[in-house]
A and B are shown apart, each in its own frame.
Chain A
């Protein structure tokens, strides 16, 4: 029989700690496959955030650093400047990247650090039990917005990709999702594009992935993906906001 699918060696055999149906596992696989296919795994260094993916390093057979909450882009800067031939990426949630770590992401992008940032936007703080994130939709109920997010006092969802794309330096800024197989394939393309640019020392790449958090959204994974499609994507439109080297057309 012909083998049509296999687990990449860049992923470890550790059992997952993520909730059933969580998108983190899918994105981990896409990253691992991309590093393997680009033949850079042996010189790749990941930076794990504070959030559900704090233990991301348990699932990758590559060097890893675990950063303080929000500081992964600064940590990645230090690593990349020291080991410029490594492939360095951060993996961050929306609390980590879009709230406490806003300064770090903006300035790493603006310096044009030759790193890749994978940004998991699930509209909520997962690890701490479902509090409001900067990306939480208006009206959405969370532990800390029990009456729904009120735009007048709590602000509206921050669109990070659009903000990053206003800067001169970043090479590649794109928003994708993993809500179905077709989009997972597109997400893998985007991740591979980002790492390819980094490999060619072409600058800062940013891949935002709109994801679900079935546990804290209080939904079954299938319902959550449907909810994502109907509610998240209108607020966070998919698309590429910046591609200065035209990698998507290459």
Chain B
């Protein structure tokens, strides 16, 4: 397929259609609005359904309904709207339904601002909603990955019967880059024999979608079975490291830079500039934020001497890196918050500080 120049939000929308997603429910918010606008135009052309809901609360519950009926379905929003979706995400996780939720992060807390940010990392990876559950979280760093990860996200969602969260940001959503659209996938919702409204001849009992388990033993059993599934997801990404993490010049790195999403693009430049100056720098870029690729950091902690985590927040993922490094090596942090994007120059300064302490 030929390269086309697209915004990240639009590339994600087109990729969702190629993944067989025909249902979108959402509510307008900047900086993700190009995505619903794109799908409002495209979905009717492919016999799909686009509904502008009355709120993010309703949108996620429409997703819950559509997913329970077997649809490949998605919603998208930006930070304040994602907060509103949390109850629904908890239900979707509890009822073990597949879907894609896109967060094009902006500055918070509160109404914050509409500039790019990474300050929803905790919300994304720690649950956000109530209860013992996990959401698979993916973090693209280019318009190409906005497309590629979307196809993968729908596959993971169906494979693990779990919601998948695409954690993007205002830069990735709005910037334009050339992208090669991935090949389309076939999807048949009647492959989900558990779905409501499935009427195949092999159906022997009615289908039920619920997240209530009144008995204490019943819920405990359900929660442990969820836990086991989360272990399976964790093991899957451990066994397929390339899907979960990108390592760049880490083999001989003394200082390992760590960042996800748009920050990782800047960090690559920083690593190259460091190398030119004789500083042995490397980069670890998690592509999947939950399950966190802890073992990669555990291994590097035996080789490298320092870690520097850079985020567009005042420090959230840095906690996961510290947990993985287990105090073996110092883990430094540099961040900009409130919608600011750090420059390579600023980060280089930080590297200088930790490499040549005065």
What is A's interface to B at a CB cutoff of 8 Å?
42-43, 45, 47-48, 54-55, 57, 61-68, 71, 74-83, 86, 103-104, 106-107, 111
Are B65 and A74 touching (Cβ within 8 A)?
yes
- A114 smallest CB distance to B (angstroms): 13
Task: From B47-55, B170-178, B272-280, give the one contacting chain A.
Answer: B47-55
Chain B residue with Cβ nearest A83: B197
Chain B residues in 8 Å Cβ range of A66: 95, 208-212
Are B61 and A104 touching (Cβ within 8 A)?
yes
Q: Which of B196, B208, B210 is packed against the most chain A CB atoms within 10 Å?
A: B196
For chain B, which range describes its interface: under 10, 10 to 19, 20 to 34, or 35 or more residues?
A: 35 or more
Q: Which of B51, B58, B69, B210 contacts A79 (CB 8 A)?
A: B69
The reply on B247 being an interface residue by CB < 8 A is: no
What is B's interface to A at a CB cutoff of 8 Å?
23, 25, 49, 51, 53-55, 57-59, 61-71, 73, 87-88, 91, 95, 189, 196-199, 206-212
Are A42 and B199 touching (Cβ within 8 A)?
yes
Contacts A45-B69, A68-B88, A104-B61 known; A83 to B210 CB distance under 8 Å? no
Q: Which of B49, B54, B71 is packed against the most chain A CB atoms within 10 Å?
A: B54
Q: Which of B66, B208, B211 contacts A64 (CB 8 A)?
A: B208
Please measure, in the bound complex, the distance between the C-alpha atom of A160 and the C-alpha atom of B231, giving whole angstroms: 47
Chain B residues in 8 Å Cβ range of A79: 65-66, 68-69, 196-197
Are A74 and B62 touching (Cβ within 8 A)?
yes
Chain A residue with Cβ nearest B196: A63
Chain A residues in 8 Å Cβ range of B54: 103-104, 106-107
Chain A residues in 8 Å Cβ range of B198: 63
- B296 smallest CB distance to A (angstroms): 37
Contacts A74-B58, A78-B73 supplied; 19 other A-B pairs, CB < 8 Å: A62-B206, A64-B209, A65-B65, A65-B196, A66-B95, A68-B87, A71-B64, A71-B88, A74-B65, A77-B58, A78-B23, A78-B25, A78-B63, A79-B65, A79-B66, A79-B68, A81-B51, A83-B197, A104-B54
